[in-house]
């Protein structure tokens, strides 16, 4: 164990348990956060999400030709079949978009092969699934999945805002800074070792199940607010406060009542999530670009208070909440955007699991009743 990594003292929730080997990322284990040996700070500064997805999936950074081919393949999978569109139209308007992603991928598994292009197909189609359902149910309009935008970050923003009313947030989302913020956010969210959803996807792969089922397992696991759902929950918290004083009072009350503050703390980090400094920087830049005087200030007040009171630090989800809000993304779509990104990590892990597979099937410690005599139905009280 090294600095920055949490000392694991309890076995609940598999804390501190090394559950397998992986060559995909290091998470603070003496090397900092790296994807296949590349520092996350370098990737966030210099790379595109597509380069990172290629790195995770193909185990090397692409050269220019490989990247162009990879992007071409992703783009070729943006289209939605009539049957998938019909399914998306049938999912009720008031559904949670995470359920839309789950059902979209699940249905896709019925109509698409689990072939050598399945990774590209999934990465390419996810933004279209989300944007199609959103625009159909919110604006009553169908998006055209064709676009001049070659990268996922700007395609996602363009299509989510295809019929949005003009606003400063929408203009920012469609500006170079907006695309840059989304690209970096997708890079930061792409991979994080044996987190709960990745582990769920690996468990599914370990049974020799198909790729679509693995990704559905990942989506269902990411949805909860102790994991990916924390970005949505963090926004709800931050936006519930009117001003700094209100936030200070509200956080104190929550801590007094032992409530969890969403977007803080982490299973593997002790005093800092290395991704926070990057996403916080974008939150500040977007807040300045919009002239926001409230959300970013309140976020910082909460951050300071959480450190002073509990020595807890913001994780990636906390400032992602304001970043996505500043880009005009509806709150319920924050975790689905995480899905668009983390699918690259899930797929890398699914492929790695399959290369050297062993069924993941741990044991439990039995704490139930002693052996019981069977009682006939008529004699039971
Ligand atoms: N707010 C308030 N208290 C928190 C907290 C938070 N966000 N995160 C941890 N704590 C406290 C717990 O209440 C617990 O206190 P106790 O020992 O007095 O009971 C202690 O810190 C340990 O927390 P625990 O939940 O047992 O640790 P964990 O390793 O299981 O938790 C998380 C990791 C991420 C689940 C946890 O920090 C959390 O629930 N955070 C909020 C949800 C979130 O942001 N999730 C996204 C993670 S990237």
Residues 268 and 218 grouped into a single domain: no
- Ligand 1 pocket check for 338: Cβ under 6 Å: no
DSSP 319-347: HHHHHHHHTT--GGGHHHHHHHHHHHHHH
Residue 30 is predicted with a pLDDT of 74
- Ligand 1 pocket check for 273: Cβ under 6 Å: no
Cβ-contact 153, 186 below 8 angstroms: yes
Residues 37 and 118 grouped into a single domain: yes
Protein residue closest via CA to atom 4 of ligand 1: 260
Residues 308 and 201 grouped into a single domain: no
Q: Taking the C-alpha atoms of 252, 223, 35 and 54 in order, what is their torsion angle to the nearest 10 degrees?
A: -150
Residue with tokens 């998006």: 143
Residue 3 is predicted with a pLDDT of 43
Residue 381 is predicted with a pLDDT of 93
* Catalytic residue numbers, as ranges: 227, 266, 317
Residue 29 is predicted with a pLDDT of 62
- Ligand 1 pocket check for 314: Cβ under 6 Å: no
Q: What is the CATH number of the domain that holds 199?
A: 1.10.580.10
Protein residue closest via CA to atom 3 of ligand 1: 260
* Ranges of residues in the chain whose predicted pLDDT is under 70: 1-11, 29
Protein residue closest via CA to atom 9 of ligand 1: 265
Domain limits for position 148: 22-223+341-355
Q: What is the CATH number of the domain that holds 271?
A: 1.10.230.10
Whether 367 is in a domain gets the answer no
Number of domains in the chain: 2
Residues 6 or more apart whose CB falls under 8 angstroms from that of 221 comprise: 196, 197, 199, 200, 201, 227
Rounded Cα distance between 147 and 62, Å, is: 23
Whether 118 is in a domain gets the answer yes
- Ligand 1 pocket check for 228: Cβ under 6 Å: no
Residue 5 is predicted with a pLDDT of 52
DSSP 18-74: -----SSEEESSSS-EEETTEEHHHHHHH--HHHHHHHHHHSS---HHHHHHHHHHH
Whether 259 is in a domain gets the answer yes
Ligand 1 centroid to 266 CA: how many Å? 7
Residues 96 and 203 grouped into a single domain: yes
Residue 1 is predicted with a pLDDT of 40
Closest CA to 247 of 305, 293, 292, 309: 305
Sign of CA dihedral 45, 173, 76, 82: positive
Whether 116 is in a domain gets the answer yes
Protein residue closest via CA to atom 37 of ligand 1: 265
The string of pLDDT tens digits covering residues 326-354 is: 999 999 999 999 999 999 999 999 999 99
């Amino acid at each position: 164990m090294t600095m920055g990594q949490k000392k694991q003292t309890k076995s609940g929730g598999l804390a501190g348990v090394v559950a397998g080997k992986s060559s995909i990322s290091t998470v603070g284990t003496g090397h900092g956060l790296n994807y296949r040996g590349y520092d996350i700070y370098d990737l966030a500064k210099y790379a595109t999400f597509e380069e990172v997805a290629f790195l995770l999936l193909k185990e090397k950074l692409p050269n220019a030709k490989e990247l162009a081919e990879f992007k071409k393949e992703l783009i070729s999978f943006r289209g939605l079949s009539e049957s998938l569109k019909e399914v998306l139209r049938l999912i009720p308007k008031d559904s949670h978009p995470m359920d839309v992603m789950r059902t979209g991928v699940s249905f896709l598994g019925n109509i698409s092969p689990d072939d050598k292009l399945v990774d590209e197909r999934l990465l390419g189609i996810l933004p279209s699934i989300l944007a199609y359902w959103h625009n159909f149910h919110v604006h009553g309009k169908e998006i055209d999945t064709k676009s001049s935008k070659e990268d996922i970050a700007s395609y996602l923003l363009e299509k989510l805002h295809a019929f949005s009313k003009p606003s400063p947030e929408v203009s920012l989302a469609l500006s170079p800074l907006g695309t840059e913020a989304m690209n970096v956010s997708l890079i930061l969210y792409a991979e994080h070792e044996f987190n709960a959803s990745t582990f769920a996807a690996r468990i599914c792969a370990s049974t020799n199940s198909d790729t679509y089922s693995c990704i559905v397992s990942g989506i269902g696991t990411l949805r909860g607010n102790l994991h990916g759902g924390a970005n949505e929950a963090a926004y709800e918290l931050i936006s519930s406060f009117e001003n700094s004083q209100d936030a200070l009072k509200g956080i104190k009350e929550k801590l007094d009542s032992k409530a969890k503050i969403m977007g803080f703390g982490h299973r593997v980090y002790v005093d800092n999530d290395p991704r926070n400094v990057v996403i916080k920087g974008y939150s500040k830049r977007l807040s300045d670009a919009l002239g926001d005087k409230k959300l970013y200030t309140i976020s910082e007040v909460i951050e300071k208070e959480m450190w002073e009171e509990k020595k807890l630090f913001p994780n990636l989800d906390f400032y992602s909440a304001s970043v996505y809000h500043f880009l005009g993304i509806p709150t319920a779509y924050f975790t689905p955007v995480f899905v668009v990104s983390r699918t690259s990590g899930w797929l890398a892990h699914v492929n790695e699991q399959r290369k050297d597979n062993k069924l993941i099937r741990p044991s439990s410690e039995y704490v139930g009743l002693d052996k019981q005599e069977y009682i006939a139905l008529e004699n039971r009280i």
